[in-house]
Amino acid sequence: MLNEYEHLLNKYRTRFFDERLAARGLAGPPGFYLLKIASLAPVRMNAVVDETPFHKSHATRNVTRLVEAGLILKTVDPEDQRGFILEATPAGTEAAASVADTLADWDALVSSALDEKEKASLAEITRKMYLRVKNHFDEENAR
């Protein structure tokens, strides 16, 4: 599905995030997880896994990195001793704001190439593709 321009956009998106967030260790998945945790906190680890497009082991590795960096707290879930509760520290909340700002800046840069009608069309096309793929996997999971 990815055409040449989508690959190039992904390349530039990675570069954009690396330039702004790599020094803080937040380019790519760590920033994504931090932003999700900060927006949902306090949140159960399983809910974070459910809310993200990655495998549980991927989440565990990134959460561990964020804990080690002092950006999130990870405590045993008092209602389920096998699980964990995640919450952003004050430094994590500040860092999550940087990730959110970077996302907003990227979105503004990319969407500045489109007029309002094109933005609406792109949003509708993306929604349709998402629903089709979601339906495919829902049907597959029902088997």
- The mean pLDDT of 125-135, rounded to a whole number, is 92
Tens of pLDDT, residue by residue over 32-89, are 999 999 998 899 998 988 888 778 888 999 999 999 999 999 999 999 888 999 999 9
Return the percentage of the chain with pLDDT > 70, whole number. 96
Structure tokens at 9: 């956009």
- The span from the CA of 124 to the CA of 69, in Å, is 39
Of the two residues 11 and 2, the one the predictor is more confident about is 11
Preceding peptide of 53 cis, ω within 30°: no
- The span from the CA of 122 to the CA of 110, in Å, is 12
- Is the per-residue pLDDT at 132 higher than 90? yes
Say if residue 93 is exposed, middle or buried (CB neighbours under 10 Å; 0-12, 13-18, 19+). middle
CATH of domain 4-112: 1.10.10.10
- Is the per-residue pLDDT at 1 higher than 60? no
* Distance separating the N- and C-terminal Cα atoms of the chain: 26
Find, among 32, 47, 30, the residue nearest to 85 by Cα. 47
- The mean pLDDT of 93-104, rounded to a whole number, is 96
Find, among 96, 102, 84, 108, the residue nearest to 36 by Cα. 96
- Is the per-residue pLDDT at 20 higher than 60? yes
- Is the per-residue pLDDT at 126 higher than 60? yes
> 92 and 72 in contact (C-beta within 8 Å)?
yes
Domain spans in the chain, listed from the N-terminal domain onward: 4-112, 115-143
The mean pLDDT value of the chain amounts to 91
